[in-house]
Chain A
Amino acid sequence: MTERSLDDLIDEVVVGLASEEDCARIEKMAERDAEIAARLDSARMRYMALDETADELELPAQMWERVASDIATKQVSTEDKPPEIVDLTPAIRNRNRWRLMAIGSMAATIMLAVVLGWTLNARLEPTVIAVLLDAQGQPVALVEGARNNKTLVTLLEAARVPDNQVMQVWTKPDSDGPPVSLGLLPSERSGVLEVEGLPSPAADQLYEITFEPYGGSPTNLPTGPILGKGFAKTPVL
Chain B
Amino acid sequence: MTALPANTSTQDLTGTASLHNHFSQWSVAAAPDGENATAMSVINHAALIKACANGRQSALKELMEAEGGRMLGVALRMLRRQDLAEDAVQDSFVLLWRRAGQFDAARGSAKGWIYTILRNRCLTLLRNSDREISVDPQEQEVAGDDHVLDSAWNRLDAASDLRMCLELLEPERRSAILSCYILGYSHGELAGRMQAPLGSVKSWIRRGLQKLRECMG
Contact = CB atoms under 8 A, between A and B. Distances in A.
Interface centre among B64, B112, B124, B127 (most CB of A within 10 A): B112
Interface stretch (B3-11, B14-22, B43-51, B182-190): B182-190
A45 B112 contact: yes
Interface in A59-91: 59-60, 63-64, 66-68, 70-71, 74-75, 79-80
B167 interface: no
A44 B108 contact: yes
A67 B60 contact: yes
B107 A41 contact: yes
B152 A66 contact: no
A183 B62 CA distance: 33
B163 A51 contact: no
Contacts of B116: 44
A59 B74 contact: no
A194 interface: no
A219 B86 CA distance: 19
A50 B165 CA distance: 13
Interface string B102-125: 000011110110011001110110
Nearest to A72: B57
B73 A56 contact: yes
Given A7-B213, A44-B116, A52 B68 contact: no
B70 A52 contact: yes
A71 B57 contact: yes
A52 B33 contact: yes
Interface centre among B57, B72, B209, B213 (most CB of A within 10 A): B209
A155 interface: no
A54 B64 contact: no
Contact of B162 (A8, A47, A57, A71): A47
Judged by DSSP, the binding face of B is helix
Nearest to B120: A23
A13 B86 CA distance: 23
Interface residues of B, number: 66
Given A54-B152, A178-B91, A59 B72 contact: yes
A107 B160 CA distance: 85
Contact of A37 (B95, B107, B115, B127): B107
A12 interface: yes
Given A11-B209, A41-B107, A59-B68, A16 B163 contact: no
Interface in B53-109: 57, 60-61, 64, 68-70, 72-74, 76-77, 83, 86-87, 89-91, 93-95, 97-98, 106-109
Interface centre among A8, A47, A66, A75 (most CB of B within 10 A): A47
Given A51-B74, A53-B155, A74-B94, 17 more contacts: A7-B210, A8-B210, A11-B206, A17-B205, A38-B108, A46-B212, A48-B111, A49-B163, A50-B152, A54-B152, A56-B69, A59-B64, A60-B86, A67-B97, A75-B98, A80-B98, A177-B87
Interface of A: 7-8, 11-12, 14-17, 20, 23, 30, 34, 37-38, 40-41, 43-60, 63-64, 66-68, 70-71, 74-75, 79-80, 176-178, 219-221, 223
16 contacts: A7-B213, A38-B108, A41-B107, A44-B115, A46-B161, A46-B212, A46-B213, A49-B157, A49-B163, A52-B36, A52-B157, A54-B70, A55-B76, A60-B86, A66-B90, A221-B121
